[in-house]
Structure 1
Amino acid sequence: MGQRDDRRLARKKQEMRRQKRRKKRRRRIVFLIAEILILCILGVIAYGMFKLDKLNVNPLKNLTNNGISQDGYMNVAIFGDDRRPEDTGNARSDCIIIASINNDTKEVKLVSVYRDTLLNTEDDTYDKANSAYAVGGAEAAVNMLNRNLDLDIQDYVSVNFLAVADVVDLLGGIDLDLTDEEVVHMNNYCVETSEITGKEYKKIEPEVAGTYHLNGVQAVSYSRIRYTEGGDFQRTSRQRLVIEKIAEKAKKADLSTINKIIDAVFPEITTSFTSGEIVKMSTGLLQYSIGDNEGFPMDNETPDSIPGYQGSYVVPKGLEENVIKLHKFLFPDEDYAPTDTVKEISDHIKDVTGIYPDDSEDSTEDNGE
């Protein structure tokens, strides 16, 4: 028993270290994205609000929020989808971020909801969080977040991540160190990425490791690589690196370049905010500050399999317990108690997966000993 307990404790500590490293990487990604968005907004102010008519405005009409009202805060959902130009339906949201703005202090806290998180996506359906966007667009995704997390999100911003290719090209490209394997896979991905974006690229030959100056198609293709050691985890690392390189160059860009980026990217943005609302928020832009960042669920597990489900899922170790932590993070002065809806969803996920909070008496970890 002693040795088994020691091994279990060692595995638990190792998993906690891995989760901490993942959280740090995700927080850096979110922070850099926020910096780029702020640069773009500053460009809008500098060049005139007439640029806002390039945005696609799509208001939310049928929102649900479990009767929740977060007074003193404005919560906004940010989605990044993998839509192709020829797509007519909704794409899955490749990125889900909640931006919570304290109206008094102007502090902005960001929470990244892991796209593979098992949640109640609609009615009695439980699936990956990013599937809600694919099924019902931004409105369904916002309702999913409100229902599962006891939030009062009223607005959203949706961005096509393929706009990254435009940004990289307008910034003059980025330099990256590639392995032999990455060069091969990037060249392969470039074929489809070029077709999707309508942009050209030059194949890297010979396919050997080295430092390369990548254009937009190549940078997007590099960030899509997943068939190497590390899989999706390593792909996230590549995406972070691309964003870091973009942020470095964007900070040095002049207003003319920022203006060109806005012209190219804004038409690929859809939001529920009206131009008037954006102008009102922009007037106090310099007062806003990016605060802490977090990933959700904070406590999670990725099981090898879940009965009745296919693929890899991120399972909250007690949705109810994670939502309590979320509210403490976003709204520290709030006297929060989970709604019956969140409790019911949490119980269902526990029943289906057999995954419970670490300190739960219902944990089945020691069954059979």
Structure 2
Amino acid sequence: MSRPGRKKRTALFVLEIILLLLFIGGLYVYGQINSRLDKIETPVFDESKVVTNVTAPEMTGYTTYALFGIDHRSVNKALGADNSDTMIIASVNNDTKDVKLVSVYRDTLLDIGNDTYTKANAAYAYGGPEQAISMLNTMLDLNITDYATVDFNAMVAAIDALGGLDIPMSYAELVFMNDYCVETSVETGASYTPIELPERPEDIEATLGEYHLNGVQAVSYCRIRYTASLDMGRTERQRRVIQMMVHKAKKAGLTTIFKIMDDVFPLVKTSLSKTAILNMIPTVIGYSIDDTVGFPSKYKFANIKAGSIIVADTLIDNVVELHKFLYGDTEGYIPSQNIQDASNRILEIVGGADTLVDQAPVSEDDTDNGGEVVWQGDGSGNYNYTDYTDYEDPGTGGGDYTDPGTGGGDYTDPGDGTGGGDYTDPGTGGGDYEDPGTGGGDYTDPGTGGGDYTDPGDGTGGGDYTDPGDGGGGDITYEDMTGWDDGYAEPAEAAETAEPTA
């Protein structure tokens, strides 16, 4: 019969062995993570260029980060201007580990720096993360010093590693998601299977059901901004996908987590040091993303030089609400003088509060004029793009962003320079985005007609978004979506024609 003392010592010995194994396992996991962190790109980040308002409140007990999704395209470079079409503020409560996310609407009229007012998404293209963070700090009274940046490829890889996501979708979202999948797949080199559309319901905005989306599809879902909810709905979709990814990652095994690190870390740029990231690991599992909103929460629209823009109503009131959401009780907080001045300046620029409308104005086309300045300090409303190292004009013409010819085409006109096509016009016509022929079709018209987005037929039709035949007169309200089914019945055929933009 064993003595009680011996049994107790044996139990302690077994426990010590278990703890030792766990410790060794922990070291193994730590080592695996540590080696993978070397894959993250940490570009030179000049913190001295990051500007904050002198009287901005110091929110002790919280850490705030900026997350940027960049419209960078290696395949279709003409449509990728490195604008930060996704801008998310992440506030972490250091005690409760609660995380709150705020999406800044890309078309919000703000001072992106140097007293230059335009759409907020242009700040990153103008001066990289330092400029984009400075815009968030000075326009929202924040003290952000760290950021992370990703593009399409990183999101696709992460979602695929997680096995996809189950997302509730409407008919309109299905249509636009299938459309965006074409370019997302080409850009990332990842595959997808188009979702077959059900019979068109009377209410195309109502949720039809839950659909399992892979990486290409989920990212395309995040890019949708043509439904009734416009960019507000797009940013809500982005936050929803992030929440789903975090929830699923918490339940994933080490093999899945390591695969995400292997696939995604090389596609991430951040100011956080390797040591800072390692120090976050012990507590990151306790983080919970429960609350998300968009900024501004109260807004109206104006239609001026840069197209339809979002105007905070007012910037002062919206910044106060933002601080309440991010940091809880902010009683006594008064926005900095810079916020008050900018709030007044924005109203002056748009012609006063009486000029604002509740609905986004309908424009003739849907080109993204995010790089076109609305107003700057000298009052000219013009901006000298020669300081933009990212854009280049090696010719002698007046083209915006890239014009290797001598003409006035916006973004890219690699033809003879005689045309005025926006974004890409390798011919001589005036088509927006891409017109390899001679016509004036918007986005992509490989024929000679004026079809918007895609008209791969004989060019005689004017259908918006996709008209795979010769007819169609649908407009941006997509009252008639019947042409979409034909355009995406065969993915290979669709890939040759459709090139939607973010």
Matching residue within 64, 68, 71 for 2:51: 64
The amino acid of 2:342's aligned partner reads I
Measured after TM superposition, the shift of residue 191 of structure 1 is: 3.2
Q: For structure 1, which segment, 340-349 or 216-225, has the greater mean C-alpha deviation from structure 2 after superposition?
A: 216-225
Partner in structure 1 of residue 273 of structure 2: 274
Instruction: Please say if 1:339 is aligned against 2:336.
Output: yes
Gap change, CA 1:298 and 1:266, over 3 Å in 2 = same
Matching residue within 17, 41, 53 for 2:38: 53
Instruction: Please say if 1:83 is aligned against 2:92.
Output: no
Conserved 8 A contact 2:63-2:92: yes
Instruction: Please say if 1:326 is aligned against 2:326.
Output: no
Partner in structure 1 of residue 120 of structure 2: 129
SS at match of 1:153: coil
State the distance in 2 between where 1:177 and 1:133 align.
32
Gap change, CA 1:233 and 1:289, over 3 Å in 2 = closer
Measured after TM superposition, the shift of residue 273 of structure 1 is: 0.8
Partner in structure 2 of residue 253 of structure 1: 252
State the distance in 1 between where 2:250 and 2:321 align.
34
SS at match of 1:283: helix
State the distance in 1 between where 2:100 and 2:246 align.
20
Q: For structure 1, which segment, 262-271 or 178-187, has the greater mean C-alpha deviation from structure 2 after superposition?
A: 178-187
Q: For structure 1, which segment, 322-331 or 219-228, has the greater mean C-alpha deviation from structure 2 after superposition?
A: 219-228
Gap change, CA 1:60 and 1:181, over 3 Å in 2 = same
State the distance in 1 between where 2:32 and 2:81 align.
32
State the distance in 2 between where 1:126 and 1:60 align.
23
Gap change, CA 1:364 and 1:48, over 3 Å in 2 = closer
Conserved 8 A contact 1:81-1:95: yes
State the distance in 2 between where 1:179 and 1:51 align.
39
Partner in structure 2 of residue 143 of structure 1: 134
Gap change, CA 1:285 and 1:236, over 3 Å in 2 = closer
Conserved 8 A contact 2:84-2:122: yes
State the distance in 2 between where 1:242 and 1:290 align.
11
Gap change, CA 1:127 and 1:258, over 3 Å in 2 = same
State the distance in 2 between where 1:268 and 1:132 align.
21
Gap change, CA 1:226 and 1:107, over 3 Å in 2 = closer
Q: For structure 1, which segment, 240-249 or 259-268, has the greater mean C-alpha deviation from structure 2 after superposition?
A: 240-249
Matching residue within 297, 308, 330 for 1:312: 308
Measured after TM superposition, the shift of residue 243 of structure 1 is: 5.5
Gap change, CA 1:162 and 1:355, over 3 Å in 2 = farther
State the distance in 2 between where 1:172 and 1:103 align.
31
Measured after TM superposition, the shift of residue 336 of structure 1 is: 3.0
State the distance in 2 between where 1:289 and 1:248 align.
8
Measured after TM superposition, the shift of residue 144 of structure 1 is: 0.5
Measured after TM superposition, the shift of residue 236 of structure 1 is: 5.3
Measured after TM superposition, the shift of residue 345 of structure 1 is: 0.8
Conserved 8 A contact 2:152-2:188: no
Q: Name structure 2 gaps, 5 residues minimum.
A: 1-27, 200-208, 357-502
Q: Which has the higher contact order (CA 8 A, sep 6+)?
A: 1
Q: Name structure 1 gaps, 5 residues minimum.
A: 1-42, 357-362
State the distance in 2 between where 1:180 and 1:144 align.
37
Partner in structure 1 of residue 219 of structure 2: 220
Matching residue within 177, 180, 189 for 1:189: 180
Measured after TM superposition, the shift of residue 103 of structure 1 is: 4.3
Q: Within 5 A, what are the aligned runs for 1:287-302?
A: 288=287, 290=289, 292-301=291-300
Conserved 8 A contact 2:70-2:84: yes
The amino acid of 1:194's aligned partner reads S
The amino acid of 2:321's aligned partner reads K
Conserved 8 A contact 2:320-2:335: yes
TM-score between the two structures when normalised by the length of structure 1: 0.70
SS at match of 2:101: strand
Conserved 8 A contact 1:66-1:341: yes
Gap change, CA 1:54 and 1:121, over 3 Å in 2 = same
State the distance in 2 between where 1:236 and 1:119 align.
18
Measured after TM superposition, the shift of residue 275 of structure 1 is: 0.8
State the distance in 2 between where 1:178 and 1:295 align.
20
State the distance in 2 between where 1:106 and 1:130 align.
29
Indicate the structure (1 or 2) with the bigger Cα radius of gyration.
2
Measured after TM superposition, the shift of residue 343 of structure 1 is: 1.7
After superposition, the CA RMSD in angstroms is 3.6
Measured after TM superposition, the shift of residue 256 of structure 1 is: 0.6
State the distance in 2 between where 1:105 and 1:179 align.
35
Measured after TM superposition, the shift of residue 285 of structure 1 is: 3.3
Measured after TM superposition, the shift of residue 155 of structure 1 is: 1.0
State the distance in 1 between where 2:194 and 2:93 align.
48
Conserved 8 A contact 1:178-1:212: yes
SS at match of 1:101: strand
Gap change, CA 1:155 and 1:243, over 3 Å in 2 = closer
Q: Deviations over 1:4-47 (max 9, x none)?
A: xxxxxxxxxxxxxxxxxxxxxxxxxxxxxxxxxxxxxxx97594
State the distance in 2 between where 1:326 and 1:83 align.
29
Measured after TM superposition, the shift of residue 196 of structure 1 is: 0.7
Conserved 8 A contact 1:65-1:152: yes
Gap change, CA 1:194 and 1:319, over 3 Å in 2 = same
The amino acid of 1:70's aligned partner reads E
